[in-house]
Structure formats: C-alpha cells, structure tokens
C-alpha cells in the first residue's frame, strides 16, 4: 500500500515536470515565431512606405528597408510574399527561384554591391545560378 502511494506520488512529480518543460518549449517556440513575424513586418512596413512614396523599389528598396534584419531564406521569402500580397507590382519570386535569398543579400553586403543601380542584383543572381560568385 505504501509502495502504491509512493509510485503515484513519483508519477505525479514526473508528469508535473514534463508538463512544465513542455510549456517552456512551447513558449520559446512561440516567442521565436513572434520575433520572426516582428522582423518581417518591420522590413515590410519600411519597404511599402518607401515604395508608395516613390523613394525605392526592387532589390535596392529591400536593402534600404533593412532586409539585413532577417535571419534566413525562409524569412526573406515570407517578406517577398507579403510584399506581393500587399499589392506591390514588383514580384521577384520567380527570378529568385532556386536561389538562397539570404546568401544573395549576404554576398551583396560582402561585395559592397549597390542594388540601386540597374542590373547589379540581376548580375549577382546570374553568378549565383552559375556558381561563379567571387569574393
């Protein structure tokens, strides 16, 4: 009888600990998702505001809007989807198919490329497709 009570007590402690750690993991995942969404929306707001004011567009506009804040290809692609859904006419998604967009902007930063000039981004994309990007 005492052994049964002890087993039940230990099981209750184990279940409580597992529930606690599951909640911690879930909270961390939710926080990471919120942080990601916040970063994307921050860049989106800056890009759309500047685009509507006629101050920027295209790849140069993304750089000016702070695309460097985004952490990976998935976040950048989500940003591009939101830009198009917002009604912007520029849609680079097909041009960027098969390209790691995070690496694209990192390489541009390393090479100190100015995407504001016509054809600069397109040249880097072509180099990445061919595997001929130099550092």
Average pLDDT, stretch 117-131?
A: 87
Residue ranges per structural domain of the chain = 2-130
11 vs 111, residue with greater confidence: 111
Q: How far is CA 94 from CA 8, 79, 98, 99, 123, in A?
A: 59, 14, 9, 10, 15
Per-residue pLDDT tens for 7-54?
A: 887 777 887 877 877 777 788 778 777 788 999 999 999 999 988 887
pLDDT at 133: 63
Packed helices 73-85 and 101-111: angle between N→C axes, nearest 10 degrees: 100
pLDDT, tens digit (0-9, with 9 covering 90-100), for 51-71: 888 777 788 899 999 999 999
């Amino acid at each position: 009888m005492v052994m049964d009570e002890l087993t039940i007590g230990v099981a209750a402690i184990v279940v409580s600990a597992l529930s606690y750690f599951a909640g911690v993991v879930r909270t961390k995942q939710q926080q990471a998702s919120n942080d990601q969404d916040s970063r994307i929306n921050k860049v989106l707001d800056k890009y759309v505001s500047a685009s509507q004011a006629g101050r920027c567009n295209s790849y140069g506009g993304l750089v000016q809007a702070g695309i460097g804040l985004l952490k990976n290809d998935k976040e950048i692609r989500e940003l591009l989807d939101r830009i198009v859904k917002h009604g912007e006419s520029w849609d680079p998604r097909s041009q960027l198919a098969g390209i790691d967009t995070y690496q694209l902007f990192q390489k541009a930063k390393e090479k100190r490329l100015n995407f504001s000039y016509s054809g600069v981004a397109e040249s880097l994309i072509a180099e990445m497709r061919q595997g001929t990007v130099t550092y």
